[in-house]
Amino acid sequence: MTTHCKQTCLLVLLGVLALAGCDRQPAEPVEMAQGQEPYLRYCASCHGNAGEGRLPAFPPLDGSEWLELPPEGLALIVLHGLRGEIEVAGRTYRGFMPPMRNISDEDLAAIIAYMDEHWGDREPTLGAAEVAALRDALADRSPLVGREGVVEALDQLEELE
Ligand code: HEC
């Protein structure tokens, strides 16, 4: 072996050791916050990876006053969809969000908890059991129309209780 080759081997060996060392570091920084994974899977294609929205069609979630709605209202939007003219953070949207009843109770509760913590600045309170009850209670409801539609559905829920 030439000296040059020995040096190369040593460098390669050091590199391997360094990588192996890195492997043992805690994986903390890449770990996803609970709810982020289903958020990215089901919502981010329209609302953006960081909830920034996609102008002009898709409104933001970060900075949206809709996150002040009770968490049940947010769950109803996802379960029933939303259409009609709406205002979000000072802009008008006339889009259509399809109902997404295929999302499991656990995933939907986790998504709403994620939104509450990241953009709603409040403690999450809606669990998977509550989402399941909501799903059954208003199973036949048609898509919500505007913010009034969400408020109406919430009133309907209260009457059922
Ligand atoms: C196919 C695109 C699409 C997907 C996927 C989608 N949305 Fe929407 N969303 C929209 C559109 C469009 C509107 C506005 C509807 C309107 O103009 O009436 C909206 C409105 C909203 C609103 C109310 C307005 C606002 O920006 O605060 C909330 C809350 C919301 N979506 C949450 C979600 C959540 C949570 C998910 C994932 C479970 C999701 N959306 C997935 C398209 C989408």
Contact call for residues 50 and 60 (beta carbons, < 8 A): no
Is 49's pLDDT higher than 60?
Answer: yes
Task: For ligand 1, atom 32, name the residue with the nearest CA.
Answer: 78
Rounded CA gap, 47 and 44, in Å? 5
pLDDT in tens, 111-136: 999 999 999 989 999 999 999 999 99
In degrees, rounded to 5, the angle at the alpha carbon of residue 23 between the alpha carbons of residues 19 and 26 is 140
Task: For ligand 1, atom 17, name the residue with the nearest CA.
Answer: 95
As a whole number of Å, the CA-based R_g of the chain is: 23
Name the residue type at position 107.
Answer: D
* Nearest C-alpha neighbor of 134 from the set 151, 148, 154, 113: 154
| Tokens linked to 68 | 């002040």
pLDDT value, residue 34: 87
Rounded CA gap, 111 and 42, in Å? 9
Q: Which of 41, 45, 46 to mutate to test the pocket of ligand 1 (most atoms within 8 A of CB)?
A: 46
Q: Is 147 in the pocket of ligand 1 (CB under 6 A)?
A: no
pLDDT value, residue 3: 54
Q: Which of 36, 45, 80, 97 to mutate to test the pocket of ligand 1 (most atoms within 8 A of CB)?
A: 97
Start-to-end C-alpha separation, the chain: 82
Is 108's pLDDT higher than 70?
Answer: yes
pLDDT value, residue 157: 92
pLDDT value, residue 6: 60
Is 41's pLDDT higher than 70?
Answer: yes
Is 20's pLDDT higher than 90?
Answer: no
CB atoms inside a 10 Å sphere around CB 74: 21
Provide mean pLDDT across the span 64-81. 97
